[in-house]
Every structure is written in structure tokens, then in C-alpha cells.
Amino acid sequence: MQSFEIDKTDVQRIKTALEGDDAELELVLKEYHPSEIAILFEKLEQEDKERIINILPTVVASDVIAEMDEEHRPGELLINLHPDKRSEIVEELDYDDATDIISQLEEHEQQEILEDIDEEDASSIRALLSYDENTAGGLMNSALICINIDSDKKSALDEIIRQSEEMEEFYTIYVVDEHKVLKGVVSIKDIIKAHADVKVSAIYKDDPIYVKAELDQEEVAKLISQYNLTTIPVVDDNMKLLGRITVDDIIDVMEQESTEDMLKISGVSEDEELSGNWQEAVKSRLPWLIINLATGFLAAGVVRRFPNVQVAIPAIVAYMTIISGMGGNAATQALAVTVRRISLTDLSDNQAYRTVLKEFLIGLINGAVNGIVVGAFAFFYDGNPLMGLVLFVAMTGNLIVAGLSGAGIPLILKRVGIDPAVASSIIITTFTDCAGFWLTLWLATHLLLPQVLSHH
């Protein structure tokens, strides 16, 4: 199945159907998957969304709301529905999806929704709301299938059938004791193949991979990826089974974490919504730009220390901007790779050392190659071999600085407890600008300036 992208034809078709009666609109909506309707909602007004949700069957409506991106306010859509329709949708949602949506609302709105739904569902959602949304507890779904370790085959199958009636799908059957302490897992295949008198204790697999409720969601994603799991159980400090996290939730986490890292490296706060208005964007970006401006004065201060060489050799000003710019690009490359490595695994001291050494060698080689190019250009264009040598050394040196800072700075920040994706880009830009300007102008002062002055 191909991915669905918003098309003007589809949007216009929905809008045209909205002008007609409910029967016509319902007929058109049947041709779209719930996830496609959720995408189309991005182009519709709030009242149109509410009308569509009210027309759709509860099962489909709940899927549509669950598929909506957080930035498009599914919680706001939910709270504006008639209480009866709203309750039907919430009770149809998986507990983790319902919790994610309800958590977007004000506390009094949350209570309004929870008071109208089934008490068992409300209790489960309240329990999930107590966890930080970026932890395993905030990510998990408390709906799962678990059987007692002392059950026989018939009792286990009966329990699986009973519990699965309220679930769309399940990947794993968890084995627990009478206190609901996690003991292991068992597959439905092993239960079916077992003899009638065999107990679960004889066929289950102990030592399961699990996570504690307080574990950060990014660490959960690493575990599921590392062990190729489709689901992972969540337990408390006493190993009591609380819920499960499925791979579809982890895909969302990985997308979210990648987006956050990309925005942070660009100097944009993770709090800025991709579809937010200009006021939110300015509030998010301006502080980082002010900080960047302050560091820019450092680079300007370096340039101001060499007035004589700039007056005597005007061409050097043009070349030094190339060298600092190349350093910034090279450092960003090293930073992106290093931040990605840090996000995927905790680097040991040896791995960190090897990462910095690798970027040093890359900087040396890339610097030398680019230094030869810019040096050769200066030699032939300006007719000055010494100018070519200055630029070669400055380019090589600055790309070495770029590699060292691009890899070393995020590792240092990580070690001292600062998010490397947030602060690294501004620091490395300062390093490469200052190093590029200083190397070029210092070398020009000591090698080129005497030559120029001697000719006068």
C-alpha cells in the first residue's frame, strides 16, 4: 500500500461533500482509511472535523483521532464533541492512545471526560496519566494478556480467550504469579502444542527482557531495536507487571526523538511546533540567535586584532570567509554523526576517544585536500605561492579544529550532563569561526605581510 499524501483533489472532494447532506459525506468518507482522514483533517476547519467525527462509526472515529498528530490538537477535537459520542470514542481507544490525547487537555477537562466513561477504563487512564509522558510508563498500554504460572493448558486458553475479547491484537502472552509479578513469556503456539495436562510453568520462557516504568522512552526504543522485539513489558520496582509497549509506539518515539535532535542542532527549541504560528517561532528561536550573536562578537574580535594585514592584503579577507565557512560545514557534519551515535548508545571512554580520533583524521585529510584546492587557486589567480601556502595551512588547521570540536564538544557536554544537541552547534560555530579567522590572519601577518612591506 502506498503512503497517502494530501492532494488538492482529495481536500476539495471532502469540502464538496461537506456542503451536502450526511449520507453523501459518509459515502465519500468510506473510501478513505482512518489515517488518511486524519491527514485530511490538517486542511479542514474545526467544525468540519467535528461533523465528520460525529458521522463516522465510533470504531473509525476513534482510529481517526488516534492517528492525528499531537500538533493538530486531537484533545481539543475530543472535548468539543457531545459527551455521549466522546465517551464512546474514549472507551474504544487503546488506553495509551486515550491517555496521550487526554493529557493534552486542562485538568478540569480531563476530569470531565473521565467521569463520563466506564470506571474501569477511567481507572486505567488515570494510572497512565500519573507517569511522565516521555517514560516507559507514559508510553505503555495497560491492556495486555497475562496468565498464571500454575495454570494448566485449558485454563490458560480460556483466560487468553477471555482477555483478548477487549483487544484488537496481541503479540505476547505474559506469565505472572498470584501477585501479578512478571515471571516470563509464553507463545500461543507453545500452549496449543502442549499436552492437556501440561502446566504453563513447564513451557514458559523465564528471564524476559523488560523495562521499569520510569525508564526514558529513548532507552526503551534502543532496547526494542537491539533485541528486535515487537513488544516489551513494563514493570514496577517489585517486578509487578504494569503494561506493555508495542513496536508501533516505538516508531513514533524514534520519529519524535529524531525530529527533536534535528531541531536542537539547528538551534530551534523542541517546544516549537512544526505548524505553529510566527509568534511561537520567534519566541523559540530568538534566544538562540541572541546567544549566537554574542559568540559572533568573539569572532569579530579576532578579526579586529589584525587590522594591518587586512589593509595591506585585501584578498586575505575574502579567503578567510571561505576557510571559516568550510570549517563550520565540516564541524556540523562531525556534530551530526556524533550526536546520532550518542543518541543510539552510551559511548565508553575508549569509544569516545576513537570517535574523536576518527574525526581528527577526517579533518586532516579533508582539510589537506581542500587546502590544496584553495592554495592552488591563490597561487594561479594571485600569482603568490606564499599566499597559497598560508591558505593551505589555514584550511587544513581549521578543518582539524572542526573535526575535533564537532566530535569532542558534544561528548564533553554529555559527560557533564548537558544535552549535546542543544548547545553544541553554537559552540562549534564559535570555534571554527575564531580558528579560521585567527589561523588565516596570523599566518598572513607572519608570512605574507613582511613580503608585501618589503616590496613597498
Residue 254 lies inside a defined structural domain of this protein: no
Same domain flag for 411 and 284: yes
Residue 2 lies inside a defined structural domain of this protein: no
Residue 271 lies inside a defined structural domain of this protein: no
227 confidence band (pLDDT: 50, 70, 90): confident
The pLDDT, as a whole number, for residue 42 is 86
Residue 338 has pLDDT above 50, yes or no: yes
Q: What is the CATH number of the domain that holds 73?
A: 1.25.60.10
Residue range(s) defining the domain that contains residue 235: 146-246
In this predicted model, what pLDDT tens digit does every residue of 191-217 receive, in sequence order? 999 998 899 999 999 989 999 999 988
**How confident is the prediction for the chain on average, in pLDDT?**
86
Please state the pTM of the whole predicted model. Answer: 0.59
Q: What is the mean pLDDT of residues 133-153?
A: 91
Please say which residue of 75, 104, 130 terminates a domain: 130
Please name the residue that has the C-alpha cell 551530526: 336
Please say which residue of 82, 105, 130 terminates a domain: 130
pLDDT-above-90 percentage for the chain: 47
Same domain flag for 337 and 442: yes
Same domain flag for 314 and 446: yes
Q: What is the CATH number of the domain that holds 220?
A: 3.10.580.10
Same domain flag for 304 and 421: yes
Residue 265 lies inside a defined structural domain of this protein: no
In this predicted model, what pLDDT tens digit does every residue of 345-371 receive, in sequence order? 777 778 888 989 999 999 999 999 999
Same domain flag for 110 and 225: no
In this predicted model, what pLDDT tens digit does every residue of 170-198 receive, in sequence order? 778 999 999 999 999 999 899 999 998 89
Residue 1 has pLDDT above 50, yes or no: no
Residue 139 lies inside a defined structural domain of this protein: no
Same domain flag for 301 and 447: yes
- The number of distinct structural domains making up the chain is 3
Residue 44 lies inside a defined structural domain of this protein: yes
Please say which residue of 225, 246, 267 terminates a domain: 246
Same domain flag for 77 and 24: yes
The pLDDT, as a whole number, for residue 439 is 93
Same domain flag for 172 and 211: yes
The pLDDT, as a whole number, for residue 291 is 79
Same domain flag for 304 and 172: no
Q: What is the CATH number of the domain that holds 310?
A: 1.10.357.20
Same domain flag for 438 and 367: yes
Same domain flag for 394 and 438: yes
In this predicted model, what pLDDT tens digit does every residue of 96-121 receive, in sequence order? 889 989 998 999 999 999 999 999 89
Residue 311 lies inside a defined structural domain of this protein: yes
What 3 state SS string does the chain have?
A: CCCCCCCHHHHHHHHHHHCCCHHHHHHHHCCCCHHHHHHHHHHCCHHHHHHHHHHCCHHHHHHHHHHCCHHHCHHHHHHCCCHHHHHHHHHHCCHHHHHHHHCCCCHHHHHHHHHHCCHHHHHHHHHHHCCCCCEHHHHCECCCCEEECCCEHHHHHHHHHHHHCCCCCCCCEEEECCCCEEEEEECHHHHHHCCCCCEHHHCCEECCCCEECCCEHHHHHHHHHHCCCCEEEEECCCCEEEEEEEHHHHHHHHHHHHHHHHHHHCCCCCCCCCCCCHHHHHHHHHHHHHHHHHHHHHHHHHHHCCHHHHHHCCHHHHHHHHHHHHHHHHHHHHHHHHHHHHHHCCCCHHHHHHHHHHHHHHHHHHHHHHHHHHHHHHHHHHCCHHHHHHHHHHHHHHHHHHHHHHHHHHHHHHHCCCCHHHHHHHHHHHHHHHHHHHHHHHHHHHHHHHHHHHHC
